[in-house]
Amino acid sequence: MSKFILLVEDNPDDVVLALRALKRNHIANEVVVVRDGAEALDFLFAQGSHAGRNPEHLPEVVLLDLKLPKLHGLEVLQRIRAHESTCLMPVVVLTTSSEEQDIIESYRLGANSYIRKPVDFDQFTEAVRQLGMYWLVLNQSVKQAGEL
């Protein structure tokens, strides 16, 4: 399994739009989508319904929505940062919320970036594109290194 993105998002519309934006930015990496906070942790720690997975195979980046069923995004973030294997994994908080509290709390819990999902599609696309470029560049450099 190659480098992949974990998208934690419960809204199917946002999933489709996010996938489309990634595709339009020519990001061909696999995107694993989980629908709630609990499943995100199950996936990352290879437990529960994802028990058969190799726990060492982690995503390049997690796009984490905050308002999630079962377990809130901030709690997911907290658990990711608390776990040895995932504490350095890049996490970009992705939410519609512009509440200051959420922003402050996300950074406090160790979010790498905060992207508000803008209603405006262009802005959203741009945000995701910039994110995509971040690890795409990394991906390419690794690839280049491999080729050398």
Partner 1 sequence: MRSLISALASPLRRTRWVLWVGVPLLSALVVMAASYALVRAYVLRQANADIRDVLLSHRGFHVYVQQVLLPGYDRALKEGRIPATFYDPRLMSSSYMTRVMHSFFNEERVKDGLPPIYYKMAADNPRNPVNRATPEEAQLIQRFNADHSLHDLAWTLTLHGEPYLERVIPFLPNTEACLQCHGRREDAPLGLQALYPGQGGFNEKLGQIRAVEIVRVPISHEIQTAALVSASVVGGVLGLLLLAMFNTRLRGLVQARTTLLEAEVRERRQAEAAVRELNQTLEYRVEERNAQLLAVNKELDAFAYSVSHDLRAPLRAIAGFSQALEEDYAQGVDDTGRDYLARIRKGCTRMGRLIEDLLQLSRLTRREISRVDLDLSALAREVAEELQAGAPGRKALFEIQPGLRASGDPTLLRAVLDNLLGNAFKFTAPVPEARISFGEDLADGQRVFFVRDNGVGFDMRYVDKLFGAFQRLHDAESFEGTGIGLATVQRVILRHGGRIWAESAPGQGATFFFTL
User: According to the binding rule CB under 8 A, does residue 99 interact with partner 1?
Assistant: yes
User: According to the binding rule CB under 8 A, does residue 106 interact with partner 1?
Assistant: no
User: According to the binding rule CB under 8 A, does residue 120 interact with partner 1?
Assistant: yes
Whose Cβ is closer to partner 1: residue 13's or residue 147's?
13
User: What gap in Å lies between CA 144 and CA 148, rounded to an integer?
Assistant: 6
Residue 134, number of CB atoms within 10 A of its CB? 16
- Contacts with partner 1 by CB under 8 A: the residue count is 18
Angle at 117 (CA atoms; ends 21, 16), nearest 5 degrees:
40
Q: Compute, in degrees rounded to 10, the torsion defined by CA atoms 42, 43, 45, 50.
A: 70
Angle at 30 (CA atoms; ends 69, 141), nearest 5 degrees:
125
Name residue, tokens 């993105």. Answer: 5
Bridge partner residues of 68 (DSSP): none
β-strand pairing of 4-8 with 91-95: unpaired
Tell me the closest approach of the beta carbon of residue 96 to partner 1, in angstroms: 4
Please give the structure tokens belonging to residue 25.
């930015």
Whose Cβ is closer to partner 1: residue 35's or residue 117's?
117
Kindly write out the interface string for residues 23-62 of this chain, putting x where it contacts partner 1 by CB under 8 A and - elsewhere: ----------------------------------------
User: According to the binding rule CB under 8 A, does residue 17 interact with partner 1?
Assistant: yes
User: According to the binding rule CB under 8 A, does residue 97 interact with partner 1?
Assistant: yes
Tell me the closest approach of the beta carbon of residue 20 to partner 1, in angstroms: 6
Question: What residues make contact with partner 1 under the rule CB under 8 A?
Answer: 11, 13-14, 17, 20, 67, 95-99, 117-122, 124
